[in-house]
Structure formats: C-alpha cells, structure tokens
Amino acid sequence: MKLLLSNDDGVFASGIRVLAETLSKTHEIFVSAPDAERSGVSRSMTLFEPLRAKPTKIEGLPEIPAYAVSGTPVDCVRLALGNLFPAPDIVVSGINLGPNLGTDVLYSGTVAAAHEAALLGYQAIAVSSLSYKGEFLETAARVAEIAVDYISEHPMDFGTLLNINVPGIPYEELKGIKVTSTCIQQYELEFIEREDPLGRKYYWPPHGRTSCSDGMDVDDRWAREGYVTVTPLMYDLTDYPRLRNMQLSLPDWIANR
Ligand code: MN
C-alpha cells in the first residue's frame, strides 16, 4: 500500500526514521514532515505566509521521497495530500517520542496530523512511544505495521483516527493490547521562574503531569502497566447529554429571566 508518514517531532527525528524503515519493507512510503520540532502545536495551520517544502532524505533510507516542510504537522499533511503526494491509502503520524495519552491528544501535533488526514477522508493512525528517549522504537514500529494491516481491513468512519500508544520496551515484553478510552491528565501549572542575564524574568513551562486513572479502564493506566493502547478518536467534542438537556431547558430559562 501507499503510506504517507508525518509527525510533529520533525522530519529528522528518530521516530519517523524507524517508522519509515519498518513500513518501507512492505509498503510504498512517502514522508512530509516539519523541518523542525513542532510538538504541542495541535491543529494549528499556516494561513498568512507561504510554505516551503524542501526535498530531503531520511537517514539510511535515501530512496524514500521525503519533504521537510516549513510548517505545522497539519500543514505537512494538507500539503502532501493536496500537492506533493495525493491519494495514499493510509496516513501514519509518528512515532512520537513520548506518550499521547488522554487529554494529551488535544495538544499533540502527532495526533493532529492524523486527525487532519481523517477529516480529509483518509484512513489515519497516530503512533506514540511512551519513551521520550526513543528506547525500543522498533516495538512501536511493529505495532504500527499491525495497525496498518488492521485499518486496511477495518476502515474507520469519516473523521475517525486510531490513536495508539506503545510502551518503550521490547516487543516480547508487551503485556498485550487494550482498546480503551482517553483519560484526563492534569498538567502541572506553575511555570519555573528564572532570570535572564539582564535581570528580566522568564518562565519555563513545567512538564509534570498526573493522571487520576488508577484502576480505571483508560489509556494512561493500561499504558503504564505495559499494554499497547488503542483509542478511536473523532473530531466531535459536543457534549450530547448536556446538549439535549440544554435544548429543553435553555428556551425556558431565557423566557423567564
Ligand atoms: Mn512530538
């Protein structure tokens, strides 16, 4: 099959290289990824300046067509599907260095790239390794290979992508696979305050996070216990129970105020 790969760690990141290496053994690969790290940019897109797409090479894989794009992950996917490499069978984003569990998916450029593809009518997968250091990326690449086979046999509905997180451990040590929902992460809020050489304050974003998922059937809990987690994600953030409740109650509330 024809696979478009993207990510948010940048075209020269180890995650996309290992992913391309593994998937290119059985598939035709094309890469469109940011020219520098764009983690945490979510679905942002470039609207008021031009994009540059520079042909580049993935280390060790000179035969794979690849572009370093001067934009966000969403830009990379849109530019690839619109101009550079239209009509792949599946779009795979990753392998991200670090998890995209629970509410992480709202901030993740990795997930956003796959989501953009899903919203353009393509089958799409986002793959993240729990290891920030890129330990055992081959494990996540093998899981991605299986996910490609799965989604080609079981296509998702329009707008839905598969979000996959893989522990950074040897493949043989994975406990199994859990199809599960997203948890709520609580991110540390207090920025680290420092002073620059001119005596002006600056702030480093904190990276700590806690999840309230102990014992719950959610992605963060299972991933921490050594399972691969799979969550089908859709774009619709509507709170349907609240919607129905408000459809009934809001007109009266307005009439009576
Ligand atoms: Mn990233």
Q: pLDDT of 24-82, one tens digit each?
A: 999 999 999 999 999 999 999 999 999 999 999 999 999 999 999 999 999 999 999 99
Q: What is the 2 CA–ligand 1 centroid distance (Å)?
A: 24
pTM: 0.95
Sequence-distant contacts of 67-71: CB under 8 A, at least 24 apart: 67/11, 67/31, 67/32, 67/33, 68/10, 68/11, 68/12, 68/33, 68/34, 68/35, 69/11, 69/32, 69/33, 69/34, 69/35, 70/34, 70/35, 71/34, 71/45, 71/46
**What is the reported pLDDT for 99?**
96
Q: What is the 111 CA–ligand 1 centroid distance (Å)?
A: 9
Q: What is the 39 CA–ligand 1 centroid distance (Å)?
A: 4
Residues 134-163 as b/e (b if ≥16 CB within 10 A, e otherwise) read bebbbbbbbbbbebbeebeeeebeeebbbb
Q: What is the 190 CA–ligand 1 centroid distance (Å)?
A: 22
Q: What is the 1 CA–ligand 1 centroid distance (Å)?
A: 26
**What is the reported pLDDT for 210?**
84
Q: What is the 19 CA–ligand 1 centroid distance (Å)?
A: 14
pLDDT in tens, 135-146: 999 999 999 999
Q: What is the 180 CA–ligand 1 centroid distance (Å)?
A: 22
Q: What is the 15 CA–ligand 1 centroid distance (Å)?
A: 9
Residue 212 has pLDDT above 90, yes or no: no
210 or 50: whose pLDDT is higher? 50
Residue 214 has pLDDT above 90, yes or no: no
Q: What is the 164 CA–ligand 1 centroid distance (Å)?
A: 14
Q: How far apart are CA 90 and CA 122, in angstroms?
A: 6
Residue 213 has pLDDT above 90, yes or no: no
